Chain A
Amino acid sequence: MKLSNVIISIALVASTAAGCKKDFLDREITTQYNEDEVFVNYDRMSKTGLGVYSSMLNRFGFNRISNAMLASACDEADHANPLSSVHLFNVGVWNASTNPEDCWSGFYEGIRRANLFLENSADYKNILFRDTILPANKTQYQTQVRDIEWMRAEARLLRAFYHFELMKRYGGVAIMDKVIDDEEILKNIKRQSSDSCVSFIANECDAVAPLLKDTWVGFDGDKWRGRLTQGTALALKSRVLLYGASPLNNPSNDLDKWQKAATAANDLIALSRYSLFNDYSGLFKLGNGADGNAEVIFAIQGWNRNDYEIANYPIGYDKGGQNSTSPTQNLVDAYEMKSTGRPITDKVSKYDPTNPYNDRDPRLAASVLLNNTTFKGRKVECWVGGLDGLGKTRATTTGYYIRKYENENLNLVNNESSVHAWILFRYAEVLLNYAEAMNEANGPEVRKGNVMTAKAAVDLVRQRAGMPVLPAGVSQDALRERIRNERRVELAFEEHRFFDVRRWKIAEQTENAPIMAMRIIKNGDGSFNYTVVKAEDRVFYANKMYLYPIPEAEVLKGAITQNPNW
């Protein structure tokens, strides 16, 4: 059985159990076995270890917020279905009780799963020895010990990762590194500072990295692919230190934090284990083979599905367009000109607003389905009155459809489907983490004994996409803007932008700006007129929305304090 199937099975078992009695920080995980019946042999113990992964399900990726992507909660996209709760983010009416993406209990549940596994499997050698006592089983014993040691390291890393996912949404959170059942103790547990959370997570990454496998590809018939690796630990450390150094968590701009973030990314890059894939578009269509790609550091394994295509094929295609994620003009404008490498607003960029998609960064066409692009045998008609154009219910609201991740070869009428994996960590992100941290700590073109300069790291990402390198001599401020834009286009729709604008503390500009759309008119001669119009206003309250509200029910229980102004 493949890992994804194992995890789904475990999740299903858990979901059939009785509800939780404990507080959010220590949710009771009930299975078909009592806890004292689980940690008695390899089979049950290992399945419990793998069960820690189950808290990842539906926390990342496709159509997960009321059928919308997280991209539709920021300036990357607008969700065409007006009934989706993702719109609560955009009109500013969400609160502690109506957060469309409340992850608090889910991730703490995962943390408790990890703690239960770690504490109950602490005596794993004796448990396994009891179970394999015959001398003939020595090899089996050694193999099982090795497996449990890997799983224990993975559980610790997952625990750290879940803490990070909480921290990036809620700010400093309570660090739960052991099982606590005492109600009184639980009520008095307090939130830690974001710095403390960053330190805890980074230290855990350091501690477990040497204990993790370097890859699961090619091991044991490939059935364990999709599990965490050494590279994941280094990548998580890079990401959490970057978040810790960012303006949201580093208001005094302590350069030492940036330096540590740069060093963490440098450590991963210096391994020379990862590299950029030469096919940007294809990178997101690798299915469960993604972790065999040299760029992919960790991907959540998926299963056969076509809901993503049903949602996002243009509405004029059979069975398509049911919940369109509509990329915004704001995002489209962020893609630079291919020939000059300059933003379209630059007067020498050679941008032609009458032919707006010509000579653009190739990642635009890879990520966004543009008008008049040939798609599944015909031209996409995003023009007013076209087969896929504005005005139809659930058609694009912006003049664009999403293309990233889509399998363009499915026949939805025949209900064809394909495996979609969600890449959580990839090398390009680490390069951009490095570039950002190095630029802040040391400037654009300084190595300081590291593998490359900040600019060189951005240039690698750009060159893979077929874009020119950035100009030499770029200033620190200018490079900061270019790096931010590079993340925006390179990592579009990958659930980075939503959090990036918050950690940079620019959401009050980006998330208050109106969403713009392209209104396309087809002329009699077959040409098009392109005019930008406002699609909708959006609301972001800077006094509170940089952090999520803690769920009201949890605040009322004890010492957990609410975030400001919620």
Chain B
Amino acid sequence: MKLHTIIGCIILMAITCIVACKKFEIRFPDKDAGQSTDVPNIKNDTARYLWNGPDYYLSVKADLSDVNGLQSIQLINKEWNFDSTIMLGDRKEFLLRAMFNVPKDANKTIHKLDVIVKNVKGGVLNTTIAIADSSDNNQDPTYDPDNTVPTIIPRTPTSPAPYNEAPFTTALKAYYGLDGNNISFNIAVNVTDDRALAKVTLKVWGETYLNEAPPVLVEDVRTPGDDERKDYLLQKDNISLPPYSGEYAILITATDTSGNENTFYYPITVGVMNRLYLSDAKNALEITNQAFDGYAAASAWGMGTIIPMKKIATNKFQLLYYYANAGDDNIRFYAYQASDKPFNNRTILYNLSGSQTASSGAVANVLGVSSSDNKKVTVNPAETNYKLTGLQKGYYTLTVDMSTRTIIADPYTPANSDWSNASKFPGFSPSAPYDYLAIIAGGAIVNSRGWAEDAASPPYARLTREPDSYIYSGSFTTAANGQFNMRAPMASLGGADVGWIRLPTSNRNLYTDVYGDLMSGIMPVGPGSGYVWAPAGNYGVWLNAGANKDYIASYDLVTYRLRMVRLN
């Protein structure tokens, strides 16, 4: 490049800088030496960010000129990902008046537009234009946006059928699906819009967990007629779901002519259980007469013949259980979905055949281990004798999968870290367990006498160890209303206030079971901690059926399960 050319460029740049509104501009040639390095001129350049109708625009104005001929103008804004080039066809002047659609800014943003103008000789003008933000007000004074979404209203039940069901809500609808029959239901909703509906779509879809049946997919797109544009009734009858564990959804989508959209979503489960209980009530009496702690909070339970199993995954439940393998075993699993459960404020809501549930009314939610396959559980009474088929006496970790309707029983070697605690189990060792547990009831139980075991005049009330186990069982009769405690044999106490087995906290502040329900089960607590009614102390469970009531009870030193039933 020749010197005079460079000087010329510098002078031209200086002049252009002055003329072009004090903008920062860089001009440089991109052609070989010897070619013209004159750069295009730009003046009256402005840029605005506009809101017009529903969209946002970049408006650019500039007067371009070049004595050699204009080749192109490129406009760049990186934050909008905007890059546009206009070919100018060698003309010597060009009045740029352009509008470009750009995104709406989420935030108030300062933008600049990078501009590159080239002439046919290779001269390049680089400059920036500040973009004025005029987007606060819409440029179209008549713009009247429709920002109202359609409404979707589950239809109120009407008579006659089929629209006599409870209206849909957004709450989960759960079906037990245990009876083997398909679940069938109808849908009816009203859809309205203040201007005009464009379409209403219904989609029902889902699948069983284990693919026992084909996936469900119902799709229905409706276009409301002219007289239905503001109020449309969507009806769909006899939608059917297979009776296996699975999840489904109903989705109704309403779209108006402005593109506003609203949806109504309704989840459904079939055979998805929130709770599973094991019951070993030998007969109906052992259900209706199972014991409750009389002083416990109203909904407390946990001393009877039903045990909650811990939910370890979707539809999968687990329990450490001692199986007696006796002739009168009657092991039943009660499954519950949603918020259903077997008790309501000490009211027993189940019997040997099933439960009265809040969500579905009476339901045969009872399963037993299959008589022919001890890895299966079944709801069919003809296929089960309600025993843990094939298992010997002992402890097992039972895992029930309600999706596969299977059960796994893993043998468990009994152990308990509390046994080495001399306060809780004085004089106890796994190889030399207590022969019995004393019942301490202050005279409320026949032969319980005072507040310590009376060894002087047997027989005194006690639970006796079953052979080769850590289960202590027996029977007793009440002398009056009063509390029930147990304690290590007197000979093991060494005169200390230890070895108590009772409510681990105040009976007004019980602990919760695996489902969060209050539980009145009793545990080794070591010292008696005084006979405090306030929440700070531990206490015996309170039996308030009166005198001359016969009970059977057993207590498990591995699981701390107290099983108590009143017989009369």
Contact = CB atoms under 8 A, between A and B. Distances in A.
The answer to whether A and B belong to the same complex is yes
Nearest to A346: B106
B468 to A, nearest CB: 30
Interface string A494-510: 00000000000000010
Interface in B96-112: 103-110, 112
A471 B81 contact: no
Interface in A435-474: 445-449, 451-452, 471-473
B249 A532 contact: no
Nearest to A345: B106
A347 B112 CA distance: 25
Contact of B110 (A345, A445, A533): A533
B211 A471 contact: no
B193 interface: no
Given A272-B312, A356-B107, A472 B210 contact: no
Interface in B238-272: 247, 249, 251, 253, 263, 265, 267
Contact of B251 (A333, A472, A509, A512): A472
Nearest to A271: B313
A447 B246 CA distance: 9
A560 to B, nearest CB: 36
Interface string A262-276: 000000001010000
Nearest to A270: B313
Contact of A344 (B106, B206, B267): B106
A333 B265 contact: no
B44 interface: no
Nearest to A513: B78
Interface centre among B105, B109, B203, B312 (most CB of A within 10 A): B109
Nearest to B108: A531
Interface in A332-350: 333, 344-345, 347-348
Contact of B203 (A473, A512, A531): A473
A516 interface: yes
Contact of B78 (A333, A348, A514, A518): A514
Nearest to A472: B265
B158 to A, nearest CB: 26
Given A270-B313, A449-B209, A531-B110, A513 B79 contact: yes
A532 B211 contact: no
B109 A472 contact: no
A534 B79 contact: yes
A447 B106 contact: no
Contacts of B110: 519, 531-534
B343 interface: no
Contacts of A375: none
Interface string B195-209: 000000001011101
B314 interface: yes
A532 B263 contact: no
A24 interface: no
A353 B79 contact: no
Contact of B209 (A344, A447, A509, A534): A447
B82 to A, nearest CB: 12
B209 A446 contact: no
A250 B20 CA distance: 51
Contact of A473 (B209, B253, B313, B316): B253
B442 interface: no
B106 A351 contact: yes
B240 to A, nearest CB: 19
Given A270-B313, A447-B247, A513-B79, A532 B105 contact: yes
A473 B263 contact: yes
A467 B215 CA distance: 29
A329 interface: yes
Interface bin, chain B? 20 to 34
Contacts of A452: 314
B79 A473 contact: no
A537 interface: yes
Contacts of B108: 353, 530-532
Interface string A518-530: 1100000000001
A556 B58 CA distance: 51
Contact of B314 (A329, A448, A451): A451
Contacts of A344: 106
A182 B59 CA distance: 68
Nearest to A456: B247
Contacts of A270: 313
B79 A516 contact: yes
B476 to A, nearest CB: 42
B55 to A, nearest CB: 12
Contacts of A531: 107-110
A446 B207 contact: yes
A448 B81 contact: no
A449 B263 contact: no
Contacts of B106: 333, 344-345, 351, 353
Contacts of B203: 473
B523 to A, nearest CB: 23
A214 to B, nearest CB: 15
Given A272-B312, A532-B110, A449 B105 contact: no
Contact of A471 (B207, B215, B263): B263
Contacts of B267: 472
Interface string B93-129: 0000000000111111110100000000000000000
Nearest to A509: B81
B416 to A, nearest CB: 18
B109 A532 contact: yes
A357 to B, nearest CB: 11
Contacts of A351: 106
Given A272-B312, A471-B265, A472-B263, A514 B107 contact: no
Contacts of A509: 81
Interface in B465-514: none
B219 to A, nearest CB: 10
Contact of A353 (B107, B112, B249): B107
Nearest to B316: A272
B215 A449 contact: no
Contacts of A534: 78-79, 110, 112
A502 to B, nearest CB: 19
B239 to A, nearest CB: 16
B309 to A, nearest CB: 15
Interface string B293-337: 000000000000000000011101000000000000000000000
**Most A-side CB within 10 Å, residue of B79, B105, B112:** B79
Contacts of A533: 109-110
A532 B107 contact: yes
Interface string B257-292: 000000101010000000000000000000000000
Nearest to B211: A449
A516 B211 CA distance: 49
Contacts of A448: 207, 211
Contacts of A471: 263, 265
A472 B249 contact: yes
Contacts of B81: 509, 513
Contacts of B249: 445, 472-473
A445 B205 contact: yes
Given A353-B108, A447-B247, 5 more contacts: A345-B106, A347-B147, A348-B149, A353-B107, A445-B205
20 contacts: A272-B316, A329-B107, A344-B106, A345-B106, A347-B147, A353-B106, A353-B107, A445-B205, A445-B249, A447-B209, A448-B207, A472-B267, A473-B249, A473-B253, A512-B78, A513-B78, A513-B81, A516-B109, A531-B107, A532-B110
Interface of B: 78-79, 81, 103-110, 112, 147, 149, 203, 205-207, 209-211, 215, 247, 249, 251, 253, 263, 265, 267, 312-314, 316
Interface of A: 270, 272, 329, 333, 344-345, 347-348, 351, 353, 356, 445-449, 451-452, 471-473, 509, 512-514, 516, 518-519, 530-534, 537
Of all A-B residue pairs in the complex, the 9 with the closest CB atoms, nearest first, are A532-B109, A472-B265, A473-B251, A532-B107, A272-B313, A353-B107, A514-B78, A533-B110, A344-B106
